[in-house]
């Protein structure tokens, strides 16, 4: 992995004098203006990304969304997945999928895969908290491309996911009022597109630090039309994550920016903190946001409005507004003074 980092930096150094001033901590980065950014791979190792690099046109011209894999986990098979294949009814009928259970769908981000820590942590939390169908979407074949190509492909990945969910519910049963879509980073925009593909019928859609670079003002990003109730948890806003409110309810723990408590300024852990906080909230439902008048108040964590829970796995959750709160520095991240 270190070889990749050195190579990326070496190539960038040949691109012009601009990159010579890029520090390793992203202190230079301005959303929508900067060309270069260090972004974490699936192991949290930073890679230098050129936000003006070329798309992989050959890859974009394939039916790449058809490569999505859908891994089912239930309390009967919490650790070994069952593959459900769209168009193969037996793969659903012969699985542990049960139409009467809530359906939780998890989608990873760039340079991640179905076995990433985000999926493992949240899947385990959901199954401990409730008897549910948990489907992990593995789109690693496309997520492993360069960042701009992966971002460009997000809408199709989401559309294929939406069509899969329509097929699954029509084939094996289910209720849209029991569907909860959860996505991290680029995966947040995948579930946003999937939600719109199913006409916003999913009961709940959660974006965990939705990816920021190339998504500011993007009509294909996660938005309020993606589900009956859409929420976003912002933990690295303005760098890896999008900063502005985009959902029915937007949460800004510790100001919604880097560094989150327990994270150092140069690390990538603030971005990952979103899914860690969410997993904790599913098990404990202990994070209480306060309503904010505006984004500036949320960033300064000086909100004193009505209380609304951040995260949790409650499918009927509904709310609206901007919310700020403080959390602790280590799992389960409780902050006992409010």
Q: How far apart are CA 118 and CA 107, in angstroms?
A: 9
Catalytically annotated residue among 56, 138, 209, 236: 209
Assess if residue 217 is contained within a domain: yes
The model's pTM: 0.92
Question: What pLDDT, on the 0 to 100 scale, is given for residue 313?
Answer: 97
- Residue 338 pLDDT > 50: no
Assess if residue 1 is contained within a domain: no
Assess if residue 48 is contained within a domain: no
Q: Is 8 helix (H, G, I), strand (E, B) or coil?
A: helix
Strand 69-74, strand 77-84: pairing: antiparallel
Assess if residue 180 is contained within a domain: yes
Assess if residue 243 is contained within a domain: yes
Catalytically annotated residue among 95, 116, 185, 226: 185
Of 290, 322, 310, 184, which is closest to residue 240 (Cα–Cα)? 184
pLDDT tens digits for range 224-250: 999 999 999 999 999 999 999 999 999
Q: How far apart are CA 276 and CA 122, in angstroms?
A: 8
pLDDT classification of 28: cutoffs 50, 70, 90: confident
pLDDT tens digits for range 287-301: 999 999 999 999 999
- What are the DSSP calls for 65-106, one per residue? GGG-EEEEEETTEEEEEEEE-TT-HHHHHTSS--TTS-EEEE
Catalytically annotated residue among 234, 271, 280, 309: 271
Strand 69-74, strand 133-138: pairing: antiparallel
Whether 271 is catalytic: yes
17-38 mean pLDDT: 75
Assess if residue 15 is contained within a domain: no
pLDDT tens digits for range 160-214: 999 999 999 999 999 999 999 999 999 999 999 999 999 999 999 999 999 999 9
Q: Is 13 helix (H, G, I), strand (E, B) or coil?
A: helix
Assess if residue 75 is contained within a domain: yes
Of 97, 71, 68, 98, which is closest to residue 83 (Cα–Cα)? 71
CATH number (domain holding residue 299): 3.40.50.1820
Of 71, 90, 91, 67, which is closest to residue 80 (Cα–Cα)? 71
Q: How many domains does the chain have?
A: 1
Instruction: From residue 264, give the alpha-carbon distance in Å to each of 93, 166, 185.
Output: 48, 43, 20
Assess if residue 114 is contained within a domain: yes
Q: Is 37 helix (H, G, I), strand (E, B) or coil?
A: strand
Q: Which domain holds residue 145?
A: 65-325
- What are the DSSP calls for 114-148, one per residue? TTSHHHHHHHHHHHHHS--EEEEEE-HHHHTS-HH
Whether 185 is catalytic: yes
């Amino acid at each position: 992995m270190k070889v990749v980092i050195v190579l990326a930096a070496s190539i960038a150094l040949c691109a012009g004098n601009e990159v010579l001033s890029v520090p390793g901590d992203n202190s230079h980065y301005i959303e929508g203006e900067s060309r270069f950014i260090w972004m974490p791979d699936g192991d949290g190792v930073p890679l230098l990304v050129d936000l003006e690099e070329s798309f992989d046109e050959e890859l974009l011209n394939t039916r790449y969304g058809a490569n999505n894999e859908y891994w089912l986990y239930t309390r009967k098979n919490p650790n070994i997945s069952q593959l459900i294949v769209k168009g193969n009814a037996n793969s659903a009928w012969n699985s542990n999928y049960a139409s009467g259970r809530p359906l939780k769908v998890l989608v990873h981000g760039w340079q991640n895969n179905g076995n990433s820590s985000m999926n493992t942590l949240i899947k385990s939390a959901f199954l401990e908290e409730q008897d549910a169908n948990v489907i992990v979407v593995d789109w690693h074949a496309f997520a492993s491309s360069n960042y701009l190509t992966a971002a460009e492909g997000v809408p199709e990945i989401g559309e294929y996911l939406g069509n899969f969910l329509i097929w699954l519910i029509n084939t094996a049963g289910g209720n849209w009022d029991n569907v909860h879509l959860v996505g991290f980073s680029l995966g947040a925009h995948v579930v946003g597109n999937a939600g719109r593909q199913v006409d916003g019928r999913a009961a709940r859609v959660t974006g965990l630090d939705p990816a920021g670079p190339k998504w500011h003002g993007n009509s294909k990003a996660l938005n309020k039309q993606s589900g009956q109730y859409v929420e976003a948890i912002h933990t690295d806003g303005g760098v890896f994550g999008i900063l502005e409110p985009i959902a029915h309810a937007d949460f800004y723990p510790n100001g919604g920016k880097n560094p989150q408590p327990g994270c150092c300024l140069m690390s990538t852990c603030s971005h990952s903190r979103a899914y860690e906080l969410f997993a904790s909230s599913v098990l404990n439902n202990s994070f209480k946001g306060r309503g904010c008048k505006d984004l500036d108040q949320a960033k300064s964590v000086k909100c004193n409005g009505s209380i609304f829970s951040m995260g949790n796995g409650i499918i009927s959750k509904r709310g609206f507004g901007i919310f700020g709160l403080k959390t602790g520095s280590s799992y389960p991240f409780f902050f006992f003074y409010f």
